[in-house]
Each structure stands twice: as C-alpha cells, then as structure tokens.
Amino acid sequence: MAKIRVAMYGLTSEAYSLAAELVDRAQVTIIDETLQMAMDIEPGFLKKNPNLQEVMSEEPLLSFKPLEQVLGDAQVIFFTPKLRRPSEETLIEAGSKMRDMAKYLSKGVTVVNSLPTGPGGNSDNIMMVEKQTGLQVGSTLTYAYLPLRPKDPKPAVVSVAGMQEKGPLQALGYSPNSQNVFSAELEYAAGVMEDAVKSVTEIEMARRGREARVALQRKSEVYIDEFSKYLFELKAIQASEETGESISYLAGAALKSFENYVRYVVDETREVLKEKQLKASRTKISLLWNLDRYEMRGERLQVAESIQQRLRDYVTDVDIVSGSKAKAGPEVFDPLKHNVVIVCSKEDQESYKAMKKGLGNSEATLISATPALRRD
C-alpha cells in the first residue's frame, strides 16, 4: 500500500519533529520556503539525526526537489513556517507565507495549519486560500488546525473544516478532538492566556518585592525561556480582538509585562556591576540560553538579542551562549575578567553547574532569569 504523501512547508524544528512522528506511515518531504526547494526525509536519516540544528550545522540536506512538484503531489501539507521578521511584523510575515504556499495548492489536498492563531485567525486563512486558489473548503479542499506548542511535536488540539469521513489526516493518526476550528482556537488561546497571566503575576509580584527589598515566601523557578515561548500567540490573540475587549487587554498587558521583564534583567545586571564596582572593560556578560534557531517562532531569539543589545550600552563584551558554545564549558569564561552569567532556562542552569567545575580562579556572578532574579 502506497504511503500518504506529506509535505512540511517550512524548514523548522517543529516540521522536523513532525516528520519523525509520521515518517513510518508517510512519504515525508520538508520544504525550505526561503530557498524554495524541498528534500525527502527518510526514516534512517531521522533516527541518526534527531536534531535539525545539528543536521544544518554538520552536513548538507539530502537531494533537493522543486517546490512546485512537491506541493502539487502532496496529499497533506503542514504549514510550519520559520518566522524571523521584527516582532511587530511577525503576524504579517505569517500571512504572507501562507499566501505564498497557497499558490501551489491543488484540488483534494488537506492543508494543516500548525502555526497557532488567535480566535478567528483560521477563518481569515481559509478566506485567503479560497480566494487565491478558487478551491472551496469542504468540497475541493480540506483545512485543519493543529497548533504546535514550542518544542512539542504533538498538537495541542486537532480540528478539521471540510472533514472527509476517512481522510488522509485521520490515516496519519490525527483524529479531531474539538468541535470545530473556532472552538479549537478558543481552547488553545485559553491555555496560553492561563499560562501567561500566571507568569506575569509572578513577574510583577517579584518586582515589587525586589523594590521593597522584601523576601517572598513564594519563589518561582520558572525562567525567561518559559515566559517568552508564547509571545507570538499573545500577539495573535491581541490582534484578533477589538481594542478594548477584555481578551485583547489581557493579552496586551501580558506582552507589556514580558517587555518590562527584559528591562528588569538589564537593571539587575547593572546593579551587580554597581555593587561590585566592576569596570566595564574588566567585565564579561554571558547570556546562557540554549536557543533553537530553527523553531517556527522567532520571539525567543529576539528577546535574547534585545537583552544583549541593551547590556552593550554598559559592557562591550556581551555574548549569547547557546548550543555548542555552551558545551564548551570553561572556554565561555574569561579568566582575566569578572564573569556575569545570566541563566535563562532550567537546562542552562544544569549547563552552568557543569561549567562551574572547570572555572578555576575565574570570578563569576550568577543571575537566574526567574521572576525574583536570584543571584549566586
């Protein structure tokens, strides 16, 4: 029996993880939407290379195919784009990439949007796709919404518009668990808002505690890596509602609090420099953050770069230490300078513990990028 032909529109970690989930049941091809080329993914290759970042850094990607051919032949197309425009343009970029993909859709295809939207976002996508292609969702086209959380290949919810009784999506193992696409949007957005409001509450209460020099009994060990993972979704939720609506206000307030947290990290680092009377020329700052440069959302990368640029107003030597650089251990530290290390995730906290063993005589101050911005 022939395998279902699946295309991933977007060379991202999410697409690569989905490919690993599906490759035993489907013929999977990943499209680099920037190069406008595609490559087949084989089971053996995925088993040997479970991480896209390592694949991209070590070897070229297999044989290439024309994008038009792959999208024209695909029975199921997952929309998994890599978004890298400046923060305020990211929603526009997402719409533009969906429009580019729609040019190549053919009759009978199932389009799967794996990029989260705000309530009503998929309705806009469907109208655009129908206008672009002349196809009709429910008769000549199937549209599904399977939003992916960061670093998680399993969709948060599964919903289908224009569902066939036993379509290719169901054959791939994805059965709808939501009444319709709009209900799925609401369910996903509710989870995002719940996490975001909890996080910003912890951030703001910890800020008040620091200002009043009060030690809080309740200490959160959630890092900035967790705070910033839903920034794209918050922008989408805010944009989906009329200004003044409660949901839009809540999403906007959460975004503002996260933006302020970047300033809190910079201010806390400045306090360290002041209290220890450190000269800029004798100080090195390392932002220890294991970032995925191939994930769909670009917000975490942009947050890291924002902190780096702000800190360079005070200290020239500021590095973002990620991936292989973090594994270098003691090489991260400058023995001739005081090293200020800002740890941005639980994973990076463990990396720092391993690094510290080889520090030798290097001077270091640790700032944990949690709500309380604890120092060690």
Give the mean pLDDT of the chain.
Answer: 89
Looking at the structure, tell me whether residues 220 and 331 fall in a common domain. yes
pLDDT tier for residue 73 given thresholds of 50, 70 and 90: very high
**327 pLDDT more than 70:** no
The number of distinct structural domains making up the chain is: 2
Q: Rounded to the nearest 10 degrees, what angle do helices 121-133 and 181-211 cross at?
A: 130
Q: What does the pLDDT read at residue 330?
A: 62
Share of the chain above pLDDT 90, in %: 65
**374 in any annotated domain:** no
Looking at the structure, tell me whether residues 113 and 44 fall in a common domain. yes
Considering 131, 155, 178, which residue would you say is the last residue of a domain? 178
Considering 134, 153, 178, which residue would you say is the last residue of a domain? 178
Determine the average pLDDT of the residues in 198-219: 86
CA 180 to CA 122: how far, in whole Å? 11
**229 in any annotated domain:** yes
Burial state string for 152-164 with b = 16 or more CB within 10 A and e = fewer than 16: ebebbbbbbbbbe
- Report the first-to-last Cα separation within the chain, whole angstroms: 60
Q: What does the pLDDT read at residue 241?
A: 76
**125 in any annotated domain:** yes
Determine the average pLDDT of the residues in 188-200: 94
Q: Give the three-class secondary structure for 113.
A: strand
Per the model's pLDDT, the better-predicted residue between 166 and 312 turns out to be 312
Looking at the structure, tell me whether residues 193 and 173 fall in a common domain. no
Looking at the structure, tell me whether residues 240 and 134 fall in a common domain. no
Looking at the structure, tell me whether residues 360 and 266 fall in a common domain. yes
**223 pLDDT more than 90:** yes
Is the Cβ–Cβ distance between 301 and 82 less than 8 Å? no
Looking at the structure, tell me whether residues 164 and 26 fall in a common domain. yes
pLDDT of 236-257, one tens digit each? 999 987 766 888 899 999 999 9
pLDDT tier for residue 325 given thresholds of 50, 70 and 90: low
Per the model's pLDDT, the better-predicted residue between 361 and 349 turns out to be 349
**233 in any annotated domain:** yes
Per the model's pLDDT, the better-predicted residue between 90 and 354 turns out to be 90
Determine the average pLDDT of the residues in 319-335: 74
Considering 154, 178, 202, which residue would you say is the last residue of a domain? 178
CATH code at 8? 3.40.50.720
Q: What does the pLDDT read at residue 1?
A: 64
Q: What does the pLDDT read at residue 55?
A: 79
Q: What does the pLDDT read at residue 165?
A: 56
**131 in any annotated domain:** yes
Looking at the structure, tell me whether residues 190 and 166 fall in a common domain. no
User: Positive or negative, the Cα torsion across 269, 275, 276, 279?
Assistant: positive
Q: What does the pLDDT read at residue 331?
A: 66
**129 pLDDT more than 70:** yes
**97 pLDDT more than 80:** yes
Q: What does the pLDDT read at residue 36?
A: 87
**59 pLDDT more than 60:** no
pLDDT of 279-290, one tens digit each? 999 999 999 999
Determine the average pLDDT of the residues in 3-31: 93
Looking at the structure, tell me whether residues 191 and 173 fall in a common domain. no
**12 in any annotated domain:** yes
* Confidence (pTM): 0.92
Q: What does the pLDDT read at residue 326?
A: 60
Determine the average pLDDT of the residues in 113-123: 95
Q: What does the pLDDT read at residue 324?
A: 61
Q: What does the pLDDT read at residue 356?
A: 75
Looking at the structure, tell me whether residues 112 and 50 fall in a common domain. yes
**134 in any annotated domain:** yes
CA 287 to CA 340: how far, in whole Å? 9
CA 294 to CA 236: how far, in whole Å? 20
Looking at the structure, tell me whether residues 233 and 312 fall in a common domain. yes
**60 pLDDT more than 80:** no
Q: What does the pLDDT read at residue 353?
A: 82
Looking at the structure, tell me whether residues 233 and 101 fall in a common domain. no
Least confident of 101-110, 115-124, 157-166: 157-166
Looking at the structure, tell me whether residues 171 and 75 fall in a common domain. yes
CATH code at 328? 3.40.50.1400
Pairing of the two strands 283-288 and 318-321:
parallel
**247 in any annotated domain:** yes
Residues of the domain holding 88: 4-178
Beta carbons within 10 angstroms of residue 226's beta carbon: 17
